[in-house]
Amino acid sequence: MADKYKIQGGNQLKGEVLIGGAKNSVLKLMASAVLAKGETKIYNVPELTDVGIMLEVINGLGVKTYHNKEEKSVTIDATDITSITAQYEYVSKMRASFIILGALVSRCKEAIVALPGGCAIGERRVDFHIKGLESLGAKIKIENGYVHAKAAKLVGTDIYLDIPSVGATENLMLASILAEGSTRIQNAAQEPEIIDLANFLNTMGADVVGAGTSEIVINGVKQDDLHPIEYTTIPDRIEAGTFMSAVAGTRGKAIIRNVYPAHLTFFTDKLIKMGANIKLIEPTAIEVSCKNRMNSVNFVTQPYPGFPTDLQSMAMVLLSMANGVGIITESLYENRFMQVQHLLRMGADIHQDRNHAIIKGVKRLTGATVAASDLRAGASLVVAGLMANGTTIVENLHHVDRGYERFDEKLRALGGNIIRYNDESANEELRVPNESRL
């Protein structure tokens, strides 16, 4: 039976919440661990379906893994790699697993990796990955749904990315680690997860300079220079932004812990302009509150350090009940407004014109049955349900499970009236008292 969320909206979220490790970082660290022979251990690993898929990809290479869920750690023993093939069965489910291509080519000089899948949020081609690998000396064939890359040796070179693709930047970083000479990636992605990957690789013995800027230089090292390590993943800035939105949208007050505020500067500034109060109370903890109805502002998604596309759906939900009219321009993905049709069912006033969404704030959203179309759209519908009057049912939770660990449990701890159920338990009563109404 497919699980669903049942949400009774209107409660103000109050209390404290602990943010987990960054999904978009830990998956790449896990793939990178195959570069070094021996046992690498990664901490602050969230329990997500995507983590399970990456473990399956790595296991398929003959690499030994151990996932300690209580300790929130993953151990990867890459002493031996017995296969260079990453199977379609797993890579087709999650785009991030495609980064195994760069790691395998780097260590084994050959890789066969299925073309990637993941959320259907728009065209995300692998052209930049392929062209970059060819520049390093790899011969590429694409057939039967697989990318076959092979190189007698990889030689450092200058690579310019037409757009600052996160995935291409990461894949080419990994492919360059053991290349002869230096590789320079220009117009590189600058996300915090890129910095985390570089820190991980440098701790392992690599020589990566400039991560977090538009130009990254990778000075090639020898296989024997790399060694297994222990490493702690950075906090998930998108999960943090999701809880910031939920607290502000329900006019609550909560402390969000295990967050790097510098990773959310642009988003925080927008929330403050909308009327939220955000205080830094510790280096890795912020207090978020909002007493009154929020005010509309405009959003334009951009590569980091601009406004993150992964929080665009959250911005839309907040604008749907804000004073005035706000415009969201999605400049990165053409299909990332898939939450619109579901918000309309809840009473939102949204007009979409290609990559622009014009949102006129309404006094109240009303509960409805909606379905997650992708990871971030699904999470935004949960937040909308918390803000709405009445009961909201959110279906297709497998999308949400890809990026949010124990989402309903964390929301209940803040006073959210939400349960997870399937059709066999459809009559189960909501467990949280219907208090603190908006």
Partners of 43 in beta bridges: 73, 232
DSSP state letters, 176-237: HTTSBSEEEEES----HHHHHHHHHHHHHT-EEE-BTBSEEEEE---GGG----EEEPPB-H
d(CA 147, CA 155): 20
411 within 8 A of 7, measured Cβ to Cβ: no
Joined tokens for residue 223: 């296989």
Q: Which residues of 15-48 are buried (b: 16+ CB within 10 A; e: fewer)?
A: eebebbbbbbbbbbbbbbbbbbbebbbbebbbeb
Q: Which residues of 169-204 are buried (b: 16+ CB within 10 A; e: fewer)?
A: bbbbbbbbbbbeebbbbebbbbbbbbbbbbbbbeeb
Active-site entry in 57, 74, 112, 119: 119
User: Which residues are CB-contacts of 276 (< 8 A; sequence separation ≥ 6)?
Assistant: 244, 248, 288, 289, 290, 294
**Residue 278, Cβ neighbours under 10 Å: how many?**
20
> Phi/psi class of residue 34: alpha, beta or left (left: φ > 0; alpha: ψ in -120 to 50)?
alpha
99 φ/ψ angles, rounded to the nearest 5 degrees: -65, -15
Concerning whether 290 is annotated as a catalytic residue, the answer is: no
d(CA 186, CA 177): 16
Question: Which helix or strand (DSSP H or E) is residue 412 part of?
Answer: helix 407-413
Which positions are annotated as active-site residues? 119
